[in-house]
Amino acid sequence: MKWLEKIFLLFKIKELRNKILFVLGLLVVFRVIANIPVPGVDLEKLKGFFENNQLFGMINIFTGGAMSNFSIAMLGLGPYITSTIILQLLTMIFPKLKEMYHESGPEGRNKFNQYGRVLTVPLAALNAYGMIALLSNQGVISSLSTFSMAITITVITAGSVFLMWLGELITEKGIGNGVSILIFAGIIARIPSDIRQAIATYSPEQLPSYIAFVVVAVLVIAGVIIINEGTRNIPIAYAKRVRGRKMFGGFSTHLPLRVNQAGVIPIIFALSIMLFPGMIAKFLANVPNQFIANSAQFIGGIFENQLFYAIVYFILVVAFTFFYTAVTFDPKAIAENIQKQGGFVPGIRPGENTASLFYHILNRITLVGALFLGLIAVLPTVITQATGLSSMSIGGTAVLIVVSVVLETMKQVEGQLTMRDYEGF
């Protein structure tokens, strides 16, 4: 089969074989780190906390169970991803930062990335303190002295920075995007335990639900592939230009606009927003002031309501998809660049009219991508309510990440093989 030939050629080439072995070695290191726990934790209470809290349970999936183990890598790559998102949003406010990110070339992009690495450290420390305080209030971990708290925060922060370094090593010396591959590995690592749990709780009466689960899973994977690979191609023509004795242009190409421009970033945004009120409510639920305590308990109860959670989560994902697409994709700038290069959309005037066309098309296809991401985000809740199989709820976000990483890595592998001019590629 063709894919078997690709795998054979992949391991036949020494350079690619070494890259794959390097990535696999770092993934082993990642899994070891994810299973080294911080001392002083009641693991049974911790497990019960994550089973009864849907938001934290979903975040735990991205860390490969490191959070539910209260390991030194419990924050995963969350602080690094958050810092990158914050900086990208700040490009809308600070023109110099936008110029550095979009127009300064590789040197400016490297400096921008360095800012993200620096910002990761305080974000990781704040996240670590918040998680420790929350779990302490829930009685999951014993109260820590100031010195013990500082040591624990330092260790957890160092774990997050170490994972960031692993991700960048994979990107630099391996194959694929390191951050995506580490998240992918964390999600995949949970599959064996989920299968064991499903087998342990299986009963013949649930067979129709299991069949429905498999059918929906296949449909979700197919939908993710279609949406993730879907593009709208806008034709671009370039006029002939004469410079000296040479002629340039006179050809046609296309501008691909992806249906899902934002990836999984809107879901991460929405998760952060949904997580914040619940965390604040749990902090304030035991304060002496009765009014504040009752208000916190009321807010906490609202966010534990599955219907309310699903509706708000869906709306936030859709809204953030449009917002993030607007941040990262500027139709006006693209129209200006095309005009400077002598290009135009057939039948459309260059400049503002072309930009308006891009805005119109982008809004229409982003709506499809936003609705799809919203459905993917609330899919676990829908499946759990429909089948009653909480142990096998489909993590739509997890499926989206896994499929996206597999497709991206496959493209890079095929690109590496194509560069070496092997027949069949």
Mean pLDDT of 100-117: 78
Fold match, 1-189+410-425 / 205-394? yes
Most distant CA pair in the chain: distance in Å? 85
Burial class of residue 207 (count of CB atoms within 10 Å of its CB; 0-12, 13-18, 19+): exposed
229 vs 275: which has the higher pLDDT:
229
State the DSSP H helix or E strand holding residue 243, giving kind and residue range, or none if neither. Answer: strand 241-243
Task: Report the DSSP beta bridge partners of residue 231.
Answer: 258
**pLDDT band at residue 425 under the 50/70/90 scheme:** very low
- 252-258 sheet: strands from edge to edge: 252-258, 231-238, 343-344
| Rounded CA separation 184/367 (Å) | 27
Distances (CA, A) of 318 to 314, 315, 321, 369: 6, 5, 5, 9
Q: What is the DSSP letter of 342?
A: T
Q: Per-residue b/e over 147-157, b at no fewer than 16 CB within 10 Å?
A: eebeebbebbb
pLDDT tens digit sequence for 205-246: 767 777 777 777 788 788 888 887 888 888 888 776 666 566
- What number does CATH give the domain 205-394? 1.10.3370.10
State if pTM tops 0.85. no
Looking at the predicted structure, is the pLDDT value of residue 99 above 50? yes
Above 50 in pLDDT, residue 80?
Answer: yes
Q: Give the residue-averaged pLDDT of 355-377.
A: 88
Question: Across the chain, what does the average pLDDT equal?
Answer: 77
Q: Quick check: 48 pLDDT over 60?
A: yes
Q: Place 423 in a pLDDT band, splitting at 50, 70 and 90.
A: very low
Superfamily of domain 1-189+410-425: SecY subunit domain (1.10.3370.10)
Taking CA atoms, 83 is separated from 27, 55, 79, 345, in Å, by 23, 20, 6, 37
Backbone angles phi, psi at 257, to 5 degrees: -105, 120
Domain-by-domain residue ranges, the chain? 1-189+410-425, 205-394
DSSP annotation of 1 reads -
Task: Tell me the residue type at 78.
Answer: G
